[in-house]
Chains A and B, each alone.
Chain A
Amino acid sequence: MADILQLLVAGLATGGIYALVAVGFTLLWQTSQTINFAQGEFVMLPAFFVLIGMSYFGLPFWPAVALGGVVSVVVLGLAFKRLMVDPMIRHGVLPLVIATIGLAILMKEAVREFYGADAWPFPALGATTDVTVFGAVFDVQSLLILAICIAVVVALQLFLGGTVTGRCMQATAQNPTVARLLGIRVERMILYTFLINAALVWVASLLITPIYLAKFTNGEWLGLYAFIAAIIGGFNQARGAIAGGLLLGVVDNFAAAYISSQYRTAIPLLILIVVILFRPQGMFGRIEERTV
């Protein structure tokens, strides 16, 4: 019993991080038809911004974190949109996909080349102690991660549903043409989604790097799991991405513990295939209409 609880909490914690990354991914797709194959690397990078802040500029941890956040939003949000997405989106989806694959390679190799190929320790956000409940040992880290993810997601939902800007963003996602007609500044809304995505990956990076250690290869599997979470949950609904992420984290952990460990990574992939073939809109998504 204790084991199951432990696996559940660990799964939810990792799942929460997948959810954060998947939500950002989904937002980008919804508003600007951008499939960002570099999303995993986007999560890998902010931790290095923080590390550079600490080692090169000698900043203490929290100011470095803030610096990391600012740099992330500027580079992964603003620069990404202006320099990459805007010029390419008019050519269609595929060139942008290819370009983001290139971007992923560039980010990985740049970190490896200019920072190093090793793994570096990264300070945790909170205490690294344990708490024992019902005989199961939970570490405060996992609970903290879960709490932060939930808080961020709730805040995002409130923003999207409760504020004028948020609702404008939703309108842009649902139908950009009509939104434009209604006087919504569509370009600005799209920019906001990129900035929000950059902030989300920054948070995800801070949560996950203490466990994963800062390494240039961190983005590989993380990106894939984020895509799977987004698709399982529903590619065109933020709610779906959240559910997909949590579900994926839990299923992955339980599958690894109770089914073959050699085929551990196969389980999420099989779920992905089944979902795409039989319910492509995911658990919560709307069926995408075909544009003729």
Chain B
Amino acid sequence: MRRSRSVLAGGVLALAAAFLVFAPLGLKPYGIFILSMWAVMTIAAIGLNLTLGYAGQISLAQAAFVGIGAYITAYLTTKGWPFWSTYLFGGASCFAIGWLLGYPALRVQHHYLAFVTLAFNTLVYLIFRNEEWLTGGIYGISNVPRPSVLGWSMNGAREFYYFCLAHLALVSAATWWLTRSPWGLAFVALRENPIRALSLGVDTRRYTLMAFALGAGLGGISGALYAPLVQFIDPTPFALGLSLNLLLMVVLGGSGYFFGPFLGAIVAVLLPEWLRFTQGFYLMGYAVLVMIMMAFSPGGLLGLADRLTRPAPRTGTGAVAGSPEAARSEGAG
């Protein structure tokens, strides 16, 4: 039974990977743009998943980090800096800011953290909007160029999509390695039972902070890709709405599951486009979906899939690789 579940999961993954690689060949620029947006948002959601899903901290500041990364990239690339330097700079800055923000903020309980991060997000938005000398203010930064890799220009929709996809693959690989590492297990220990983790000698402060800062850094990288994707940066996208949207993505997909963000981003980015003919009703349908999901499967879509495909309890947990249960059973050992 366990083998057939893994086979099923592997099959789905293979199909998805094939789709991601070959679909752009048959899609119009609009479709490719949407897929690129999905990839970029997934990176931000992966970051938030680290913070929320693995370390159990509610952060409503992810949009601010995406914004900081986007503005840094937009500002520097329009001044002629090469792209790779801007996103390293953006990611590192966001990591640092995340660390600085988290240091005092993580002392408080979960629901308070939500409000602190909410306030931080809005403050950052206000700075983006008011400080015209730095960010272009309400007028924003236009004509953000797309990068070129080894002489190859990424200007075309298809080329830039593969660029984003490559980044997503890199980020996924890095995160996978992280969650399998001792650090990842420490994160999970934090989430499941912080007091027990403390008693076992895990420095909860340090690891929580690390998860939060890493999540922020990934947000910055996502922003660094967002800027050349949309090619015009203004403060509007980075307000609280995006933070809430990212939170919804992570929870809907399955908080704490490795592939949760991917699924959640599909629902949040791709579904609206497909459902656009329903206009106003799409948002309502989305909201109802969220509420029903929370009532019946707080583990999100992957949690639901997990439960549906779970075999009758026997020896062994039958956990799917990448799920909280797997990590838990590995970590408890």
Contacts and interface: CB of A to CB of B under 8 A. Distances in A.
Contact of A106 (B108, B119, B247, B287): B287
Given A265-B126, A266-B123, A276-B112, A98 B107 contact: no
A10 to B, nearest CB: 23
Contacts of A92: 298
Contacts of A52: none
A94 B58 contact: yes
Interface in A154-181: none
B295 A87 contact: yes
B206 interface: no
Interface in B303-329: none
Nearest to A35: B111
A266 B122 CA distance: 8
A135 to B, nearest CB: 35
B286 A91 contact: no
Interface string B274-316: 0000001101101111110011001000000000000000000
Contact of A113 (B109, B130, B284, B295): B284
Contact of B122 (A91, A269, A280): A269
B291 A99 contact: yes
A48 B154 CA distance: 50
Given A98-B247, A106-B288, A277 B111 contact: no
A102 B129 CA distance: 27
Contacts, number: 106
Interface in A221-279: 224, 227-228, 231, 262-263, 265-266, 269-270, 272-273, 276-277
Contacts of A110: 284
Contacts of B111: 35, 93, 97
B126 A263 contact: yes
A270 B123 contact: yes
Contact of B108 (A227, A266, A276): A276
Interface of A: 35, 84, 87-88, 91-99, 101-103, 105-106, 109-110, 112-113, 224, 227-228, 231, 262-263, 265-266, 269-270, 272-273, 276-277, 280, 288, 292
B283 A102 contact: no
Contacts of A273: 116, 119-120
A97 B114 contact: yes
22 contacts: A84-B295, A88-B294, A93-B110, A94-B58, A94-B110, A94-B251, A94-B298, A97-B111, A98-B294, A99-B295, A102-B287, A105-B286, A106-B291, A109-B283, A109-B284, A262-B130, A266-B123, A269-B119, A270-B119, A270-B123, A276-B112, A280-B108
B267 interface: no
